[in-house]
Amino acid sequence: MRRFTFAGRTCVITGAAGGIGAALALDLAKRRAVLVLVDRDAEGLARVATMARELGAPDVSTYVIDLADGGDRGDLAAEVASRLGGADLLINNAGVTLSGTFEQNALADVEWLLEINLHAVLRMTKAFLPQLLARPGSHLVNVSSLFGLIAPPGQVAYATSKYAVRGFTEALRHELEPRGVGVTVVHPGGVRTNIALNARLSGPDPDGAQAAENRRFHETALTLPSEEAARQIVAAIQSRRPRLVITKAARAADLLARVLPARYWTISEAVARRRKLT
């Protein structure tokens, strides 16, 4: 399959108002891609769209959509087809997380997370798939997570969604690559976004300990700039890489989980305790 070229190609990005999604939009704007930006944050979306136009994107359209609303996105796909002729690149990037253990999590919150992290990926892909198949050299990117490779306590709902995105993407790649559509699954680890700060508190947190832990995780664990993550994702799309794991620590965790699938978390905790003592 030939390398993906971005100039003049229509690129649809969810979760484009901030974090990796915004960084992707600005990187692709410099490459003169046509941008279709989707997010529920109208103000953030407008800000990113303005910057993208200033950086050289020839056409930027924005759609304020709450991906938790259960819509099939057929109307969005139809509008993109009507106005722009169809999508050449779909990046399913939007994601949310919850705080607390599965025991603490309200089932309604788990369902909300699955709607955004998993079902929206399925629905967006289903809606745009006819366009991707009809346009030679198109590409699909689904953003999973480090927690689609390892499953830590306190992240049951999130890991469930991200493991599912991983499996969906890998199986779909085996269907689509023979038909000329590139597919990439991305596993970011430790990227500086606001996902931890914006985590929904699902369960009791009377002393604010969980919120404080979210802030600590944001400051200490999420250190790679979103712009660098976007650069790596764009490079993976260009070269048609099927799988991208972002950060050295994430690649090490992935290797450990594959070598010792039943013991990796025990080993990870032991290493973390040792580091605290040194």
> Which of the residues are catalytic?
158
**Which letter, b or e, does each residue of 33-57 get, where b requires 16 or more Cβ atoms within 10 Å of its Cβ?**
bbbbbbbbbeebbeebbeebeebeb
Hey, which residues does 191 pair with through a beta bridge?
224
C-alpha closest to that of 13 among 234, 236, 241: 234
Cβ pair 9, 89 in contact under 8 A = yes
In the chain, the DSSP E strands lie at 10-14, 34-39, 60-64, 89-92, 98-99, 139-143, 182-188, 200-201, 243-246
